[in-house]
């Protein structure tokens, strides 16, 4: 079916609502600008006086204008060299907030037995806190290297690889489905940037949240106004 505005600020494409939440067993979220209100790397860069420079790279990457996400992230992390861990703690304490409807949507999903996955091109310093706050079951994100209480400008390789980019998000989504013994079509994937498209393309339901144009165009549902819990208007 062609795109239609199901309700103000809620665009439906390629399927007829409503679906049942019980049709799904997993929901996967991006973190920065999806589950939370900020791009953490940009806010860390603010402490180094480099927010404008880093934010410009982030915006281009999220719009899909930079083909190599890993290289774009390495460039941004290099610019964080020398930022104290205390500055990251300030971002966590003073700037990071869950986006509207995050708690409500996660609660509704868990109430019907769904598992929750957080996959982020961001950093464990923040994903671990969001995981604990929302009771998220699985996470994958990047580790910033720290020496003497300061960022080195590098990331730490992990057993699964070096950087959680779009392809790694896709792999983690599929691996989590396999671990749960479900089909990818029984999963929902929500994101806002181009690096979310690979996992969104595997999911039974893909949802763009206040997303970049390229992501809105390819998602089955686009939430353009209001909170994350607006998905519950479509999937009940």
d(CA 187, CA 16): 17
d(CA 45, CA 103): 28
pLDDT tens digits, 182-236:
999 999 999 999 999 999 999 999 999 999 999 999 999 999 999 999 999 999 8
The pLDDT value given to residue 1? 41
Identified catalytic residue from 30, 42, 165, 229: 30
The upper half-sphere exposure of residue 46, i.e. CA atoms within 13 Å in the direction of its Cβ, equals 14
Q: What is the mean pLDDT of the chain?
A: 95
Q: How many residues does the chain have?
A: 236
For this structure, is 32 an active site residue? yes
CA dist list (Å): 230 to 119, 204, 223: 21, 18, 7
Element (H, E) at 89: helix 85-90
pLDDT tens digits, 75-95:
999 999 999 999 999 999 999
The pLDDT value given to residue 6? 82
- The CATH number of 4-38+98-143+154-233, from 3.40.1210.10, 1.20.1730.10, 3.40.50.1000, 3.40.228.10, is 3.40.50.1000
d(CA 16, CA 209): 19
The upper half-sphere exposure of residue 6, i.e. CA atoms within 13 Å in the direction of its Cβ, equals 22
What tokens were used for 189?
A: 């994937």
Cβ atoms 210, 192 nearer than 8 A: yes
Identified catalytic residue from 32, 42, 165, 229: 32
Spans of all domains in the chain: 4-38+98-143+154-233
Give me Rg for the CA atoms of the chain: 17
Eight-class DSSP state of 84: B
pLDDT tens digits, 110-129:
999 999 999 999 999 999 99
Q: Give the pLDDT band of residue 7 (cuts 50, 70, 90).
A: confident
For this structure, is 165 an active site residue? no
DSSP per residue, 105-158: HHHHHHHTT-EEEEEEEEEHHHHHHHHHHHT-SEEEEEEEEEETTEEEEEEE-B
């Amino acid at each position: 079916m062609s795109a239609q505005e199901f309700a103000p600020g809620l665009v439906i494409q390629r399927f007829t609502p409503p679906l049942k939440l019980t049709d799904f067993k997993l929901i996967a979220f991006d973190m920065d600008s999806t589950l939370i209100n900020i791009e953490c790397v940009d806010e860390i860069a603010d402490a180094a006086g480099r927010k404008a420079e880093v934010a410009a790279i982030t915006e281009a990457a999220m719009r899909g204008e930079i083909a190599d996400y890993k290289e774009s992230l390495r460039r941004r992390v290099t610019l964080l060299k020398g930022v104290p861990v205390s500055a990251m703690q300030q971002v966590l304490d003073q700037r990071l907030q869950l986006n509207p409807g995050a708690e409500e949507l996660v609660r509704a999903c868990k109430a019907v037995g769904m598992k929750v996955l957080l996959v982020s091109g961001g950093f464990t310093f923040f994903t671990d806190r969001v995981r604990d706050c929302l009771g998220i079951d699985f996470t994958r994100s990047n580790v910033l290297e720290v020496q003497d209480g300061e960022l080195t400008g590098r990331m730490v390789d992990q057993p699964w690889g070096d950087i959680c980019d779009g392809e790694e998000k896709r792999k983690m989504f599929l691996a989590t489905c396999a671990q749960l013994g479900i089909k990818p079509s029984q999963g929902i994937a929500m994101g806002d940037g181009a690096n979310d498209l690979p996992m969104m393309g595997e999911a039974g339901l893909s949802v763009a949240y206040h997303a970049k144009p390229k992501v809105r165009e390819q998602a089955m549902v686009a939430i353009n106004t209001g909170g994350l819990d607006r998905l519950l208007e479509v999937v009940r």
